């Protein structure tokens, strides 16, 4: 399992360098440029070449990368893998500083996505995201990414002596119970705009020039490979940066054929995707059409290309939990390190149908990757992902897949070392088929 462990450690480093979706997009861009991809600006005219490697960014948090195929795009279409850069967390509100009894300073936050609240308590946390800096042109503020890196906040638990029913399960109020402690106050401490000043100092600007921010909490505990046989990956944000990472190296390592290979990493999946950088936006559709037009084709050729395309919607799946085996379907029980999971739902919460499932399984068989299937229990509603949302913008055959993990949406999730390499192999094989 040496190559699998090396690749798993590469994932852990990738996630460590991606404390927010903005940093994830930057890290994606860094890897792409190391692999010879050229960045395109959405406002520029594109001049693309056959077998050229390109990428573009929306909102500094979503990325579409592509490799132009050797064949005519209208004949061979697009091979697309979709994933997302964001993860459940807490977002810092404007005017966030709250004093308690003139002794404590805490921050006002709101929930982003669907985190498991209890897993965020008593963890060393930091703050990352982006800030908008004042410029001479009010229509074009300057953007800076910020990462305080060191642990600066914590959400302390209430002692069991003051909450005797804590181990029986308690309601957690996100407005009162999960506000992070940032510092102690004293006479010499300037509590006003303390966070803003710390952020400004971190990026080397004056606090007065910071107009606004998109800042989020994250765990500073780095992921690790664990287990008696080092078979597990314990790490934050496996959902969905593991699929981003596997797709990223799939498209950079894969040898392009006649089709045009595409990797779409959207933002805001955890909150519905209905943003300009989300899967419900025209972002991917626009990029695909511009590819066709830049190659000297017309709108008719674009529609023909879509009819010859296929998409893999890649988002993590639920493994069978060893302590809660009754939570899975009776006959479809994915296991960690059992291979990628094809996700199926009669209510079309996933895009998979028998034909698209057959396509993905066929690809996996070609590269000796095992495949599993997930279906929700019939008495339990499951989640959804970018697949059905993306197909509202593009009527392309699609399959929803993901690697099996435990503790999904916990501050730290658990996946498999073998599974991550399986996903990479399947994605690379998809791009090369």
The residue behind tokens 């080397």 is 204
Vertex 267: Cα angle to 320 and 146 (nearest 5): 110
pLDDT, tens digit (0-9, with 9 covering 90-100), for 252-294: 999 989 999 999 999 999 999 999 999 999 999 999 999 999 9
97 neighbors 90 (Cβ within 8 angstroms):
no
Structure tokens at 252: 């950079």
pLDDT band at 362 (very low <50, low <70, confident <90, very high): very high
CA neighbor of 107 nearest in space, from 119, 125, 123, 87: 125
The percent of residues above 70 in pLDDT, for the chain, comes to: 99
Q: What is the mean pLDDT of residues 79-94?
A: 98
Compute φ and ψ for 341, nearest 5 degrees: -110, 125
Q: What is the pLDDT of residue 187?
A: 63
230 neighbors 1 (Cβ within 8 angstroms):
yes
Q: What is the mean pLDDT of residues 85-92?
A: 98
pLDDT, tens digit (0-9, with 9 covering 90-100), for 164-219: 999 998 899 999 999 999 999 876 555 678 899 999 999 999 999 999 999 999 99
Q: How far is CA 192 from CA 128, 186, 207, 316, in A?
A: 20, 13, 12, 41
Q: How far is CA 316 from CA 31, 233, 402, 404, 415, in A?
A: 22, 14, 4, 6, 9
Where would I find the H helices in 137-193? none
Whole-angstrom distance, CA of residue 216 vs CA of residue 69 = 39
pLDDT, tens digit (0-9, with 9 covering 90-100), for 45-66: 999 999 999 999 999 999 999 9
- Look up the pTM and report it: 0.96
Q: What share of the chain is helix, strand, coil (3-state, %, to 5)?
A: 30, 25, 40
């Amino acid at each position: 399992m040496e190559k699998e462990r090396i690749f798993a450690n590469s994932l852990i480093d990738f996630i460590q360098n991606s404390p927010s979706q903005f940093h994830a997009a930057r890290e994606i861009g860094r890897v792409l440029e190391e692999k010879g991809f050229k960045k395109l600006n959405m406002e520029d005219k594109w001049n693309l070449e056959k077998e050229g490697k390109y990428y573009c960014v929306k909102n500094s948090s979503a990325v579409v990368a592509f490799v132009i195929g050797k064949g005519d795009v209208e004949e061979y279409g697009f091979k697309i893998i979709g994933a997302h850069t964001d993860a459940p967390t807490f977002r810092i509100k404007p005017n966030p500083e709250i004093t308690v009894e003139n002794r404590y300073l805490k921050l006002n936050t709101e929930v982003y996505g669907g985190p498991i609240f209890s897993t965020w308590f008593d963890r060393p946390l930091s703050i990352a995201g982006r800030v908008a800096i004042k410029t001479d042109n009010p229509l074009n503020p300057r953007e800076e990414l910020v990462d305080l890196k060191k642990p600066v906040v914590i959400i302390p638990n209430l002692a069991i002596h003051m909450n005797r029913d804590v181990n029986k399960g308690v309601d957690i109020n996100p407005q009162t119970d999960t506000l992070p402690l940032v510092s102690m106050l004293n006479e010499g401490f300037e509590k006003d705009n303390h966070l803003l000043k710390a952020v400004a100092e971190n990026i080397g600007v004056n606090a007065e020039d910071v107009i606004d921010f998109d800042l989020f909490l994250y765990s500073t505990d780095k992921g690790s490979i664990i287990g008696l046989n080092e078979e597990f990956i314990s790490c934050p944000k496996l959902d969905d940066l593991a699929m981003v990472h596997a797709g990223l190296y799939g498209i950079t390592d894969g040898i392009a054929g006649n089709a045009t290979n595409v990797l779409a990493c959207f933002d805001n999946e955890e909150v519905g995707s209905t943003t300009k950088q989300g899967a419900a936006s025209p972002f991917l559709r626009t990029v695909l059409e511009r590819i066709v037009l830049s190659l000297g084709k017309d709108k008719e050729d674009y529609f023909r290309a879509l009819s010859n395309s296929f998409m893999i919607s890649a988002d993590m799946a639920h493994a069978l939990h060893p302590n809660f085996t009754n939570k899975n379907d009776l006959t479809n029980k994915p296991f960690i390190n059992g291979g990628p999971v094809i996700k199926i739902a009669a209510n079309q919460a996933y895009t998979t149908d028998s034909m698209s499932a057959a396509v993905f399984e066929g690809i996996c068989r070609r590269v000796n990757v095992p495949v599993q299937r997930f279906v929700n229990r019939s008495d339990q509603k499951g989640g959804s992902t970018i697949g059905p949302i993306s197909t509202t913008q593009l009527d392309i055959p699609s399959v929803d897949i993901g690697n099996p993990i435990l503790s999904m949406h916990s501050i730290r999730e658990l996946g498999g070392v073998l599974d991550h390499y399986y996903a990479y192999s399947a994605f690379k094989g998809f791009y090369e088929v």
